[in-house]
């Protein structure tokens, strides 16, 4: 394990969130699918919420938009080159700049959602190149090859990770035997620490960083194990075997009150672990194979997990304490889910956009429409920002007003 002692001393004091100059993170400010919005519609008109604008000239991709400096940033592929598109808040293209060559073979398109902290944008390509770009000058500040500078290997459908920035540190999982997970100084790319963890490949997943027992803990789902590292030095705290037939694990774990839920598709489902007081060990509390989201994530709300399955193509309500399925429905297709103001927002693989009312594990549809614009798969995760619901489908980004 490699360390830089001087930088390590700073890491101990870093808070969990990125600099106040940015508002963006994968699946909300806490990476748990929750958006801290209020005064949103409790039901939608018959034809859905009002679409206030649509931009249909993006390249292709599956990433979600992020917001900084009163602008919208979203990544897309044009030919073999990946670009950052910068839109005004009313959906007008202001400029675009290249971040590097991105994945153009099977399921081509930008994969990862960028992170912006201050004036720096961080993006990792499907070919494993991590770049830091100044959004004002549009010039690279630094870059790292996850498969060249480290010993990672690419995976079938291209490297996909929504990375974590925590103050001056950026965390990424090259998936190498020696450099399985690394922490870098986000200003210059220098290695703070490198951990071999379990030495297995990355698997399209996006990690979680949280505080527990007086320490910050990094949890990532690698090919055949969930790993937990001490975020200050990369020490492996614990690992738990978890694989499926294809070792594809795109979901972000959910942490709540000393317990963590990890889950995957292909009929494998998920399990809940309870951490020891200092977070150095974990034991299984329950396992549930019914709720098996492949790419859509899940949310925890008022004591129940909500999400849709992959092999079990239903929407489920699962009791957080027991793991028992208390509700399931096929009213809409499987897809992604986020939460805000006590409601759920679903975007399905058939293009259904739905507002769901959760209650004691049950779900009822409070509004529904269909996404017709754009092309290719309905896979991008939804985003809510200042009362506007953003939906991305391939070359189109749409903005819906969901305020009361």
Is-contact 157 207, C-beta < 8 A?
no
Q: Between the CA atoms of 120, 66, 379 and 76, what dihedral angle is there, to the nearest 10 degrees? A: -50
The beta-strand segments (E) located in 127-235 are 129-134, 140-145, 164-166, 169-172, 181-185, 191-195, 208-212, 215-221, 225-230
Q: Domain extents for the chain?
A: 38-56+301-309+327-404
Burial of 70 (0-12, 13-18, 19+ CB in 10 A): exposed
Chain CA centroid to CA 268, Å: 20
Q: How much is the pTM? A: 0.93
Tell me the pLDDT of the chain (404 aa) as tens digits: 444 433 333 332 333 333 333 436 899 999 999 999 999 999 999 999 999 999 999 999 999 999 999 999 999 999 999 999 999 999 999 999 999 999 999 999 999 999 999 999 999 999 999 999 999 999 999 999 999 999 999 999 999 999 999 999 999 999 999 999 999 999 999 999 999 999 999 999 999 999 999 999 999 999 999 999 999 999 999 999 999 989 999 999 999 999 999 999 999 999 999 999 999 999 999 999 999 999 999 999 999 999 999 999 999 999 999 999 999 999 999 999 999 999 999 999 999 999 999 999 999 999 999 999 999 999 999 999 999 999 999 999 999 999 99
- The span from the CA of 241 to the CA of 227, in Å, is 9
User: Within a 10 A sphere around the Cβ of 17, how many other Cβ atoms?
Assistant: 15
Is-contact 343 356, C-beta < 8 A?
yes
Fold of the domain spanning 38-56+301-309+327-404:
Thrombin, subunit H (2.40.10)
The beta-strand segments (E) located in 70-155 are 71-78, 81-87, 93-101, 115-117, 120-124, 129-134, 140-145
């Amino acid at each position: 394990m490699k360390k830089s002692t001087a930088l390590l001393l700073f890491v101990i004091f870093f808070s969990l969130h990125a600099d106040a100059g940015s508002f963006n993170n994968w699946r909300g400010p806490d990476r748990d699918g929750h958006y801290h919005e209020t005064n949103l519609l409790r039901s939608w008109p018959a034809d859905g919420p009002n679409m206030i604008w649509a931009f249909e000239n993006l390249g292709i991709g599956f990433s979600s938009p992020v917001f900084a400096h009163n602008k919208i940033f979203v990544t897309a592929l044009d030919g073999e080159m990946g670009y950052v598109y910068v839109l005004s808040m009313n959906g007008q293209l202001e400029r675009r700049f290249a971040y590097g060559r991105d994945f153009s073979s099977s399921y081509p398109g930008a994969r990862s959602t960028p992170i912006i902290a201050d004036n720096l944008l961080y993006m990792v390509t499907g070919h494993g190149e991590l770049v830091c770009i100044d959004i004002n000058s549009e010039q690279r500040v630094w870059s790292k090859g996850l498969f060249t500078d480290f010993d990672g290997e690419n995976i079938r459908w291209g490297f996909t990770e929504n990375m974590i920035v925590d103050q001056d540190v950026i965390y990424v999982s090259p998936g190498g035997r020696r450099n399985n997970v690394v922490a870098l100084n986000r200003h210059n790319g220098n290695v703070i620490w490198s951990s071999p963890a379990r030495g297995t490949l990355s698997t399209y997943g996006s990690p979680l960083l949280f505080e527990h027992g007086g320490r910050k803990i990094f949890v990532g789902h690698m090919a055949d194990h969930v790993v937990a590292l001490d975020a200050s030095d990369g020490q492996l705290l614990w690992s738990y075997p978890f694989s499926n037939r294809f070792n594809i694990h795109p979901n972000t774990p959910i942490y709540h009150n000393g317990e963590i839920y990890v889950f995957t598709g292909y009929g494998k489902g998920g399990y809940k672990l309870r951490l020891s007081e200092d977070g150095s060990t974990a034991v299984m509390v329950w396992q549930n194979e019914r709720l098996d989201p492949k790419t859509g994530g899940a949310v925890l709300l008022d004591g129940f997990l909500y999400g849709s399955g992959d092999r079990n193509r239903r929407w489920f309500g699962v009791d957080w304490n027991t793991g028992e399925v208390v509700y399931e429905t096929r009213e809409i297709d499987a897809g992604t889910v986020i939460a805000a103001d006590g409601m759920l927002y679903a975007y399905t693989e058939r293009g259904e956009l739905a507002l769901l009312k959760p209650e004691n594990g049950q779900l009822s549809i409070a509004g529904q429409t269909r996404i017709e614009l754009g092309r290719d798969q309905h896979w991008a995760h939804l985003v809510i920002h200042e009362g506007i619901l953003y939906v991305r489908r391939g070359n189109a980004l749409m903005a819906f007003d969901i305020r009361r």
